[in-house]
Amino acid sequence: MSAPSRWVLPFARIGHEDLPRVGGKTASLGELIRALGPQGVAVPDGFAVTAAAYRDFLDHNGLVPVLHDLLDGLDVDDVARLQERSAAAREALRGGSMPPALAAEIRAAYARLDPGGRLSVAVRSSATAEDLPTASFAGQQETFLHVRGADDVLRRVQDCFASLFLARAVAYRAHRGFGQLDVALSVAVQRMVRTDTGAAGVAFTLDPDTGHRGFVYLSGAWGLGENVVQGRVVPDAWYVHRSTLEAGHDGVVRRVLGTKATALRWDPQGGALADTPVPQADRDRFCLDDEEVRQLARWALAVEAQFTQVRGEPTPMDLEWGRDGETGELFLLQARPETVHGQRRTGLLRTWRLDATGHAPLVEGLAVGGAVGTGTARVCESAEDLAAVQPGDVLVARTTDPDWEPVMKVAAAIVTEEGGRTSHAAIVSREHGIPAVVAATGARSLLHAGQQITVSCAEGSIGRVYAGALAAEVEEVDLTTLPAPRTHILVNVGDPERALQASLLPVDGVGLARMEFVFAGWVGVHPLALLHPERTSPEVQAELARRCAGHATPQAWFVDRLAQGIGMLAAAFHPRPVILRFSDFKSNEYAHLLGGEAFEPQEENPMIGWRGASRYHHPAFREAFALEVAAVRQVREALGLTNLHLMIPFCRTPEEGRQVIAELARGGLRRGDGGLELYVMAEIPSNVLLAEEFAKDFDGFSIGSNDLTQLVYGVDRDSAMVADLFDDDGPALQRACAMLLEAAHGAGRKVGICGQAPSDHPAFAAFLVEHGIDSISLATDAVLATRQAVVEAEQRLERART
């Protein structure tokens, strides 16, 4: 038998030899405590019953041959046999006796924690193959909470030993290639943190959905963390940007309030855990304040740094945290390497192929994107019908508007009777990677509610809708093998929910971040309704009060919500530049925001009416624009995201540009301060004709090919009747772009393009490269193809020069 001194150890003395690993290398608990102690990381006191004690327990009871007989050659896919054999193995361990010397050591260690012998502890299993960077055994073995008294501690330690042979653990080891007896188990006996009267949750040192390494993601709820880990409640969540936090800035970019309907609490009378309803007041507030979130994020990063140092390679972490409800103290309870994204191959592109041979389309239109979507058709005549749309359905409508975006982004596909490739439905579907068919005449009558359909945008420029669920093939391409062009390739984004995924594309930043998309999805309220609620209806005032609850003023709520959305866009791409275009709703679109009808005029042609720059300095809108400016300032200054730059849309004259610049300065934003760059959209013929004048006040131009095309050709871009005349790579547009490039470069200013044309027409992108465009900003689904076209155009130019 092992020497008794190796059986039971205080946490601070645990080394690698006490917790042997099946493979890999990680930090021992003793190393962590010694390294993290000076940084203030709090870990509950306790002791460990080591893996050596577990193996000696098996030897003492003669269990090794018993376990071999039960488990060797077991077919774990035979569920009945698996349950039978694993139960027999657990019963064998529970029926054993603890070696007297080991039992005495456990009793003595518990007494040192609490001489009175009534301290509540958590008895947590930790398999020696558990929590490796390549395989997470998390949750495979048992943990017991609120264990009190030496006798109960001994019993639960033995129960932990037995839990190594739960059916799920046996099957998991078999499927991952671990021998059943090659895995040992240690047990942590940890002072119980009263999270049942406080709060608990988890923390990741990356985004768990996308694997983005720039964030610490935390979630939590009232009571024990089991409800969070098992998904029984909708927890609060926070995104903390690591590099700006480490630089001393706020760091908390986004907060998401969960419902937290129940809390798992200890019932001392019943001697058991019980789910109890959470009072509404607690549901309506976060279970952590921002300083506590920052504290936990710093601790999580410190743990990651220690594991990374020991392993010699980046090691993102998955941790559990708790706050004691009696003392208010924060603790880290558990840490393990994150295993999902660490093993996932990155840098892959998906392309779709559909074999529709023998299937006649039900309806055709213009294809948006290149994907295929299948689902149940939901025909929506108005916003009232949106409630019937479930995630994975196909939304069918005459047209869409910004109010519909929350439903649109969960649809499998979108089909509209009206609109062109730059209509709202097209822009939103690209943003979310959803296939859409627009200008699909007769779709509402040809497609029936409840019908299973397939929407294909994988067959070129024509989008088709087929009856039934047709099979599609997906091809993946390794992005890491693609050559990098000299021209900067940027991406267009708007939805903060999609920013993390989009940031993983091979791009140099964001050429167009759409403020109005953040308005629609994250705010949904007309800013003037918050400033002058007395001009709105009682129903609107009641809804405004509900949304703004918990904030000092309605304006503070608006700035905070807007700043969180903008902050996610900037943080996702940091330190790459993100160019934010201020809101560019038209008056009819602003009117659809909550309370908007009271403040918006009725315009015959809002497309060329009161929009863009003309609003920002207008007496009727100036104070609303000041809220946008305040949100931007919060992102750049409080969050430290100085990679955020600004762009003014639909600026008709240089004088109007200077008026907007004055409004920005009034709000504390000045071109050049903190590296702030200011751009103007080139989307009106006057921007081209007066480029030298505009260049005096702006750092550069971004061609908005959508509006520039319609104003050069006199074509309504949202009209299906003239969609075939919308020539966004035609000679007139090309000449306008060439004129702008020559004038702007002559004035020493940069020129990019953020409209749809380069995404739809690689040849147009090549034309721009030949004329010296500095950057091309693309829809996410066009980045790879257009990037390759740019590389080829640059190579042709190089060959021509030589």
Whole-prediction pTM: 0.80
Residue from 380, 457, 651, 754 carrying the catalytic annotation: 754
* Res 189 pLDDT > 80: yes
Q: Which of 454, 425, 368, 352 is nearest to 780 (CA)?
A: 368
Mean pLDDT for the stretch of residues 564-584: 97
Please report, to the nearest 10 degrees, the dihedral formed by the alpha carbons of residues 325, 327, 329, 334 taken in order. Answer: -60
* Res 30 pLDDT > 80: no
Please report, to the nearest 10 degrees, the dihedral formed by the alpha carbons of residues 695, 698, 699, 704 taken in order. Answer: -90
Mean pLDDT for the stretch of residues 107-131: 80
What pLDDT shows up at residue 13? 60
Q: Are 156 and 147 in contact (CB under 8 A)?
A: yes
Q: What is the pLDDT of residues 298-352, one digit of tens each?
A: 999 999 998 888 778 888 998 889 999 999 999 998 888 887 665 555 566 566 7
Cα separation, 474 vs 468, whole angstroms: 19
Selected residue with higher pLDDT from 84 and 720: 84
Picking from 58-72, 100-114, 146-160, 718-732, which range would have the lowest pLDDT averaged per residue? 718-732
End-to-end C-alpha distance for the chain, whole angstroms: 79
What pLDDT shows up at residue 40? 73
Q: Average pLDDT over the chain, rounded to whole?
A: 88
Selected residue with higher pLDDT from 696 and 399: 696
For residue 227, give the amino acid letter: N
What pLDDT shows up at residue 12? 62
| Catalytic-residue membership of 737 | no
* Res 129 pLDDT > 60: no
Residue from 424, 526, 574, 592 carrying the catalytic annotation: 424
What pLDDT shows up at residue 18? 47
What pLDDT shows up at residue 682? 97
Mean pLDDT for the stretch of residues 679-707: 97
Residue 486 φ then ψ, to 5°: -75, -35
Mean pLDDT for the stretch of residues 56-61: 96
Q: Peptide bond preceding 435: is omega within 30 degrees of 0, i.e. cis?
A: no
Picking from 157-171, 520-534, 607-621, which range would have the lowest pLDDT averaged per residue? 157-171
Cα separation, 725 vs 407, whole angstroms: 31
Cα separation, 474 vs 485, whole angstroms: 26
| Catalytic-residue membership of 651 | no
What pLDDT shows up at residue 183? 82
* Res 35 pLDDT > 70: no
Q: Please, which pLDDT band fits residue 3 given cuts at 50, 70 and 90?
A: very low
Pairing between β-strand 363-368 and β-strand 436-438 as defined by DSSP bridges: antiparallel
Q: What is the pLDDT of residues 756-782, one digit of tens each?
A: 788 788 888 889 999 999 999 998 878
* Alpha-carbon torsion (596, 601, 605, 607), positive or negative: negative
Q: What is the pLDDT of residues 202-229, one digit of tens each?
A: 899 998 777 889 999 999 999 998 887 7
